[in-house]
Amino acid sequence: MGVVEGETKENEKKENEKKEKEKKEKKEKEKKEKEKKEKEKKEKEKKKEKEKEKEKKEKEEKEKEKKKKEKKEKEKKEKEKKEKKEKEKEEKKEEKKKEKEKKEKEKKEKKEKEKEKKEKEKEKKENEKKEYKGIQRTFKQQQTYWSKGEGEEGEGEGEETKENEKKEKEKKEKEKKEKKEKEKKEKEKKEKKEKEKKKEKEKEKEKEKKEKEEKEKEKKEKEKKEKEKKEKEEKEKKEKEKEEKKEEKKKEKEKKENEKKEKKEKEKEKKEKEKEKKENEVKEKGKEKKEKKEKKVKEKKEEKEKEKKEKKEKEKEKKEKKKKEKEKKEKKEKEKKEKEKKKEKKEKEKEKKEKEKKEKEKEKKEKKEEKNKKEKEKEEKEKEKEKEKKEKEKEEKEKEKKEKKENEKKRKEKEKEEKGKEKKKEKEKEKKEKEKKEKEKEEKEKEKKKEKEKEKKEK
């Protein structure tokens, strides 16, 4: 009886020790589970923090880029404004120069008229002086004849006096006729000169009018280009903002989906833990060997799950890196195109200035040639008679006809050139539109590809 009782106590002791051991192991296991849970929670929070930091950096980067672009735009506009002012300044300078030349020309003409007037007055006085001397001479002769007596001798002398008077009268008539002829020629010469000056003034006015029209046309063209440029920039800005908003929405959607996914995973994890807890309670009733085996299986499973998650994270980081590299590449491409555009603009500006310079030199040369020609013609005109006058008028008409024809030819050539420029502009515009469409198509293809990859991952 005592032996049986002793054995029973020993068995109870062993049972109690076993229970204590199991209790201790259970507490240890729960402690480890809690630590594991805490660790996972911290890792997820860390991951979230990392994601937020990443988003913040991207946002800052975009803001930085935006400010940089705005700064560039501002500098560009200021530069254009400065160039415009410089051009206007140059035009005003040119206008002043022309005005000065015009005034000097008028002053010169006035001087010539004054000189001509003085010469005519001088000539008039000399003619009056000659006339007065002739009258005086005739009067003296009469006095001589009167002082001699009457009679036959007197009658003979009277005849002589009449003859002298007749000669004097004829001489006066001749002088009068010559004077009238001279005055007529002077008048004709003056009228011819006046006509030529008038014609010259008309030509000058026509030229000024044409220059003014050309400047107006150029100004309108420039304003049109400026307007088109601003509209294009505005459009590009809006497109970029649209793209950025689209990207923001996409990121927001991805964020929500990730949160949803995380929530699902947490729920799943919770259920698995509940299930595991129940299984452990059942297993605790079983043998220690089985429990250890299950523990190892579970640890292995958790290890695999962890590896799987890490792999997923790495894949995600890899894709993110790839995306950033692509964006960087696109940005570089865009900057390259911008530089090329600026270079092209500079070249065109240079070409335009060269053309203007050549035009001015040509005009200067033509003016000089015209001036030399006129001076030569002036010398010839003074030597010419009535016949040459008619021939000159005929020549002037032919010259005018030729100039008209030449101007018409120049005008047509200019129109042709303008049309060529317009055509070139249209082609350039079409090319840019085509490039833009190609880019949009490429972007859509990329979006589709991304969506497919996303769907594949979710599956």
Q: Can you tell me the distance from the alpha carbon of 87 to that of 221, in angstroms, rounded to the nearest whole number? A: 15
Q: Can you tell me the distance from the alpha carbon of 236 to that of 77, in angstroms, rounded to the nearest whole number? A: 16
Which residue, 397, 349, 457, 416, is CA-closest to 79? 349
The structural domains of the chain, with segments of one domain joined by +, span 95-144
DSSP secondary structure, 288-346, as one string: HHHHHHHHHHHHHHHHHHHHHHHHHHHHHHHHHHHHHHHHHHHHHHHHHHHHHHHHHHH
Which residue, 362, 363, 359, 339, is CA-closest to 351? 359
> What pLDDT does residue 153 have?
41
> What pLDDT does residue 438 have?
92
How confident is the prediction along the chain (459 residues), in pLDDT tens digits per residue?
455 556 677 878 888 888 888 888 888 988 888 898 898 888 888 888 888 888 888 889 888 888 988 898 889 889 888 988 888 888 888 888 888 888 888 888 888 888 888 888 888 788 777 666 666 665 655 566 555 444 444 445 456 677 888 888 888 888 888 888 988 888 888 888 888 888 888 888 888 888 888 888 888 888 888 888 888 888 888 888 888 888 888 888 888 888 888 888 888 888 888 887 787 777 667 666 666 777 788 888 888 888 888 888 888 888 888 888 888 888 888 888 888 888 888 888 888 888 888 888 988 888 888 888 888 888 877 877 888 778 888 888 999 999 999 999 998 898 888 888 888 889 998 999 999 999 999 999 988 888 888 888 886
CB burial of residue 165 (10 Å; 0-12, 13-18, 19+): middle
> What pLDDT does residue 435 have?
92
